[in-house]
Amino acid sequence: MTAPLKAVLVLEDGSIIHGNGFGSEKTIKGELVFNTGMTGYQEALTDPSYNGQILMMTYPLIGNYGISPEYSESEKIQAEGFVVRELCDQPSHRLSGMTLDSFLKGHRIPGISGIDTRQLTIKTRQSGTLRAILKTSAGNISASELDILRYEAKMMPSPDKYNLVSEVSCSAPVTLHPENYSGKEGPKILLIDCGTKMNIIRELTQRGCTVIRAPYNTTADEINNIKPDGILVSNGPGDPAHPEIMASVVQTIRAIYEKYPIMGICLGHQILSLAFGAKTYKLKFGHRGANQPVKFFSDNKVYITSQNHGFAVDQNSIPTDIEITALNVNDGTVEAMRHKKLPIFSVQYHPEASPGPWDSKYLFDRFIKEVDSRK
């Protein structure tokens, strides 16, 4: 029988947290963030928006329903590492094909369990998002190793310094036909892939759309040559105002926004705001989970939403031709906006859910209606 792994989580403030290791034996670096969802750990782990981050779940028992291939939101685990209070190694679910531990091992991702994740969440809320190093080892981790890890955690740059979108975007356009495709082409949607979740694609193809999944740096000329009926700018990781993002997809949107109906989701929402001249800023600890309340002004209804972002749009910087249509009930951040004259709208949250509530899937119907009305 293989001996259990030892694990340590070292934070930029010098804190050292010992626990039990699982998954792969490895040392990784990332930004420690927390997710408040009670379920959905597989969808979260495989969400490309977690690239560059160490994901911590606040719910105390993780892994209890195992892993099923149909619930992955990309082809691999995107988070750098995983932090849980208690790991369940005997899952019970009819669709479970493997344990969480085996899933992490297969993707060479380390995890740590047996630590007080709620106390660590409080620390993160108070101090803000922390840079961290997670190390798992079959042997003991010496004091000298811990000193080195503490120094590296203090000196490591924020993942936001890198163009994380380039690491998760597709490399070439791919055409995806609607379900039960019969050769009759429905609306042609160009999906600008900044790190898209698979359920965004499913929501479009289930509505009869042909989806052209294109790299984030696709140019305006290339888009015009494709001649899409509409454009959706996806979710993704990192700083929306990173110089390489500003010079590529933001500039592209500025060049084409008057020609096409456009929808933005999460990072796509922020990219649209930047294209129209607004500014973005980093939140203290972000919104990550499936229970964020969003209030729309049009009907005064509150929708419970799935969210995963560390940046927000500066409300005071939004130009006059853009209307804010919804705010976050908890902290008043911008959650939705629309162009006053053009068929363009965006949401900061995830209407495709996966995981989370389905309350906002109607937004895909609204987008397709906008597209169809202009075909």
CATH number of the domain residue 134 falls in: 3.50.30.20
Please report the pLDDT score of residue 1 as a whole number: 53
The encoded tokens of residue 305 equal 């939403």
Please report the pLDDT score of residue 354 as a whole number: 94
Annotated catalytic residue, options 31, 73, 209, 266: 266
Q: Phi and psi at residue 50, in whole multiples of 5°?
A: -90, 5
Mark whether 335 and 257 lie in a shared domain.
yes
pLDDT digits (tens, 9 = 90+) for 313-363: 999 999 999 999 999 999 999 999 999 999 999 999 999 999 999 999 999
Residue 294: give the domain boundaries.
165-372
Mark whether 124 and 185 lie in a shared domain.
no
Instruction: Give the C-alpha separation, 71 to 170, whole Å.
Output: 20
Q: Give the other-Cβ count within 10 Å of 14's Cβ.
A: 10
Mark whether 152 and 196 lie in a shared domain.
no
Mark whether 128 and 256 lie in a shared domain.
no
Domain stops at, among 131, 160, 189 = 160
Please report the pLDDT score of residue 97 as a whole number: 94
User: Nearest to residue 84, comparing CAs of 48, 49, 110?
Assistant: 110
DSSP string, 90-105: S---TT--B-HHHHHH
Annotated catalytic residue, options 12, 203, 352, 370: 352
Which SS3 state, helix, strand or coil, does residue 113 take? Answer: strand
Mark whether 108 and 184 lie in a shared domain.
no
Domain stops at, among 134, 160, 186 = 160
Instruction: Give the C-alpha separation, 131 to 81, whole Å.
Output: 12
The encoded tokens of residue 283 equal 């939140």
State how far Cα 292 lies from the chain centre: 15
Please report the pLDDT score of residue 180 as a whole number: 74
In the sheet with 344-347, reading across from the earlier edge strand, the strands are: 174-176, 210-215, 188-193, 230-233, 262-265, 344-347, 334-339, 322-328, 280-296, 302-313
Amino acid at residue number 161: K
Annotated catalytic residue, options 12, 335, 350, 370: 350
Would residue 269 show up in a list of annotated catalytic residues for this protein?
A: no
Mark whether 56 and 197 lie in a shared domain.
no
Would residue 352 show up in a list of annotated catalytic residues for this protein?
A: yes
Domain stops at, among 160, 187, 202 = 160
Domain total of the chain: 2
Q: Which residues of the chain have pLDDT under 70?
A: 1, 181-183
Would residue 350 show up in a list of annotated catalytic residues for this protein?
A: yes
